[in-house]
Chain A
Amino acid sequence: MSSAIIQTNSKLDLVLERVVDVPRELVWAAWTKPEHIKKWFTPAPWMTVDCEIDLRPGGIFRTVMRSPEGQESSGAGCYLEIVPNEKLVWTSALGPGYRPAIRAAGTGSCEELYFTAIIMLEAQGARTKYTAVAMHGDEATSKKHEEMGFYQGWGTALDQLVALAKTL
């Protein structure tokens, strides 16, 4: 089976490369096991309090995050491609079983906008180079999401405050 086509767009996507001094299998485990994900996935001061992983195409990837004030927000996406120790692709735009995600305003979702994430691992001796790609839809869509209140916690405040700061 050939691999899916990936085309990145520098205006919409992020490509982050890191080299870590740990074996590839360990990096893979950190991305694919709930007990590991809970330890690092959510940017502090938010925490991951629950994580569900069904590691197969269409399988669920769900995380529940909690703010320092106890506000919880969850998001469920699904895996698209899994090549053990090499490549992991999931999206927040599709739910489990590839069902298109619907997020009404005010559901408290922490997934700030729909994205597809691609993680690629490459052994470099005892080290591992990993590349994380986060792909987004068009900017207009993301702006609309912001207006509809998809941004929770710091997102909403930040947007408002950035707008305010510009007027000062």
Chain B
Amino acid sequence: MDRVFHGLADPTRRAVLERLSSGPAAVSDLAEPFSMSLPSFLQHLDVLESCRLVKSRKAGRVRTYQLTPQPLKVAEGWLEKQRAIWNRRLDQLDTYLADLKEQKS
């Protein structure tokens, strides 16, 4: 879940995902609408792949990306989304409280 949010937390990556929703695409096609350098763009693709939002396949010299819709289904439903946010929030609180206690002792 955390990884999904991280993957979605950037406009370039979201645009790539939207593009891929209409079908697989090669790196050059994906990069074309963006004015950033290719290495920077490839980093975004790496993030998406490490979040398992997309997967890639290399054929000859062409690497093609496609969506892996599975992780998104985890975040389905507005109440579940709120639950995820609150769970993350409280996880952070509990970690923080443990740190505070340690500092005091």
Residues of A within 8 A of B (CB): 11-12, 14, 16, 18, 20-22, 26-27, 30, 36, 39-46, 67-69, 112-113, 115, 132, 134, 136, 139, 142-143, 146, 153-155, 157-158, 160-162, 164-165, 167-168
Q: How far is the CA of A153 from the CA of B100 in the complex (A)?
A: 30
Which residues of chain A are near B69, meaning CB under 8 Å?
Answer: 164-165, 168
- Of chain B, the residue at the smallest CB distance from A146 is B78
Residue B79, interface by CB 8 Å = yes
Q: Is the interface of B mostly helix, strand, loop or mixed?
A: helix
Count of chain B residues with Cβ under 8 Å from any Cβ of A? 38
Residues of B within 8 A of A (CB): 2, 4-6, 8-11, 14, 17-18, 21, 67, 69, 72-73, 75-76, 78-79, 81-83, 85-90, 92-98, 100-101
Which residues of chain B are near A132, meaning CB under 8 Å?
Answer: 86, 90
Contact between A157 and B92 (Cβ–Cβ < 8 Å)?
Answer: no
